[in-house]
Amino acid sequence: MSKVKVTKKREGRNHSIRFYIIAITSFLTVITISALWIFQGIFLNSAFMLAKKSDVERASSLIADNYNSEDISSLISQVCAEYDICVKTINMNTGAEYDEHFVNNCILHKITGYGSLVQGWYDQAILNDGEYTIAMSYDAFNSFADGEELKDISNGESSEENCVISIKIVKDKNDVEHMIIINGYMDPMPGAMSVIRLILAIVSILICVFSVIISYILSKKISKPIERVTKAAKELQGGDYNVRFEESGPIEVVELAKTLNSTNAQLERVDKLQKELIANISHDLRTPLTMISGYSEFMRDFPDEVSPENMQVIIDETARLNSLVNDLLDVSKLQSGKQTINMQKISLTNTIQSTVKRYDKLTSHNDYHVSFIHDCEVFVEADETRLLQVIYNLVNNAINYTGEDKTVTIRQDVLDNIVRISIIDTGEGISEENLPLVWDRYYKIDKVHKRAILGTGLGLSIVKHVLLLHNSRFGVSSEVGKGSTFWFELKIVDKAY
């Protein structure tokens, strides 16, 4: 009961792909908007302060580089207006020279003369190759300007720092030192912050709206092809092999549809061949059973007609019926992987020779000619019983389909450490498009079923699986109207001439 409940609970959590796309998109949207607001609340001030420090240092360098120009006054005014800063220059011999003010209540311009604060900045700049930049609290700076003692004025560690002071020492044409002091106020304006927050709110709303629209369109575009594939798959599940999977949408869905179309074609072919096999096997079973039943009833009704010939017919048909049943069992075992092999060193050449001798009776009675061509004795590692199945089935297949000359040739060719056995017939041959199919389950070249002269018609399926167990290469070549050649290869462990 507990397992059933767990299964139902898990099934209840399943949702459509459209739901997952919308949910993931919504989650990412929330994360993005939250990150924007967190950045605005935590990092915007810091970012503004870093930008202001950079502006102050850039303005200080610009003024210092052009200090000896004739229009330095207008340059200072232009720089102050552009960077929203205050500038004060001091001639170290005569005192203040330029004084530009662009920040309300800027305490820099409260500094008069050459006091201890200016002397401290000068000393720091001299020690630092004529440059010195310091960040401090505006309130602390203001207190110092009002005459109060300023503590830790240059440590740059206050969390409330909102002023940056940049000092540069330059010399004029007469080699007189001048001190350039620039003050930048780093707190963003309240009005600017309100505008930024308003823009951020509008952007957040637009992101939400567009994410909902895009996620809906995207989920519909992705889920529609999958829904069509699912619908077609349900029709295929119901046994409708005429269904076709639409190959459209994302590439993964297209590949899935192509695979399912190929699988559908295979299932349709297998279903058709399986029905043909059942019909053929039914025919092969019915024929010997009819013969056995007919001859048995004949001998029952006419006891005087019981003869060795009639009994032999019953024995032959029973043997054929037994052979068919055994072949069906072998195919089933081989396909299920339950069949094992017993590998040992055997003489492949002698095995084939003894097999050919067993066809002497058929040769003498039906004018069939089976020959074996070889130039040495070859030994291989194989299961002799299973390998005999391969040889018998290939030879029987060749006899069943050989031409009017009723000739079957077996060739043994040695290629380095590989031996190739070829069974050649002179029949009608197999078309090129059908060659890859001859080893398939249920496949039959001619659609009109006829009773085989030898064997049960299941031989090639048995041959394929036995050779796969031996890790053997095998194949078939054929030309329509000139016959076919079935071959397989095994590794040689020894040979004798």
The DSSP-derived string for 313-371 is HHHHHHHHHHHHHHHHHHHHHHHHT------EEEEHHHHHHHHHHHTHHHHHHH--EEE
How far CA 189 is from CA of 104, 108, 186, 196, 200, in Å, comes to 12, 19, 9, 11, 17
% helix, strand, coil for the chain, step of 5: 55, 20, 25
- What does the pLDDT read at residue 485? 94
Per DSSP, the chain holds a count of helices (H) and strands (E) of 13, 12
From 200, 196, 202, 210, select the one nearest 28 (Cα to Cα). 210
The two structure tokens encoding residue 24? 């993931």
Instruction: Write down the mean pLDDT value for the chain.
Output: 78
Q: How far apart are CA 336 and CA 238, in angstroms?
A: 26
Q: How far apart are CA 54 and CA 61, in angstroms?
A: 11
**Fold classified for 251-331:** Helix Hairpins (1.10.287)
From 327, 384, 383, select the one nearest 352 (Cα to Cα). 384
Q: How far apart are CA 167 and CA 66, in angstroms?
A: 15
DSSP 261-326: HHHHHHHHHHHHHHHHHHHHHHHHHHHHHHHHHHHHHHHHH-GGG--HHHHHHHHHHHHHHHHHHH
pLDDT in tens, 89-144: 888 887 767 777 766 666 676 666 556 778 888 888 889 888 888 877 766 666 65
Q: Where in the chain is the domain with CATH 1.10.287.130?
A: 251-331
pLDDT in tens, 353-404: 988 888 876 666 678 889 999 999 999 999 888 898 889 889 888 888 888 8
CATH superfamily of 340-496: Histidine kinase-like ATPase, C-terminal domain (3.30.565.10)
Q: Where in the chain is the domain with CATH 3.30.565.10?
A: 340-496
pLDDT in tens, 483-492: 999 999 999 9
Please say whether the beta carbons of 398 and 470 come within 8 A. Answer: no
Residue by residue, pLDDT tens for the chain (497 residues) are: 444 444 444 445 666 777 777 788 888 888 888 887 877 766 776 777 777 788 888 888 888 888 888 888 888 888 888 888 888 888 888 776 777 776 666 667 666 655 677 888 888 888 988 888 887 776 666 665 544 333 333 333 444 567 788 899 998 888 888 888 888 876 655 556 677 778 888 888 888 888 888 888 877 777 788 888 888 888 877 777 778 887 777 787 788 888 888 888 878 777 776 776 677 677 667 767 877 887 788 788 888 777 887 788 788 778 767 767 776 777 677 666 666 778 999 999 999 998 888 887 666 667 888 999 999 999 999 988 889 888 988 988 888 888 888 899 999 999 889 999 999 999 888 888 888 778 765 555 554 444 454 445 567 877 888 898 899 999 999 988 889 999 999 999 987 76
Please say whether the beta carbons of 419 and 382 come within 8 A. Answer: no
H helix or E strand, kind and range, residue 19: helix 17-38
**What is the reported pTM?**
0.46
Measured in residues, the chain has a length of: 497
H helix or E strand, kind and range, residue 446: none
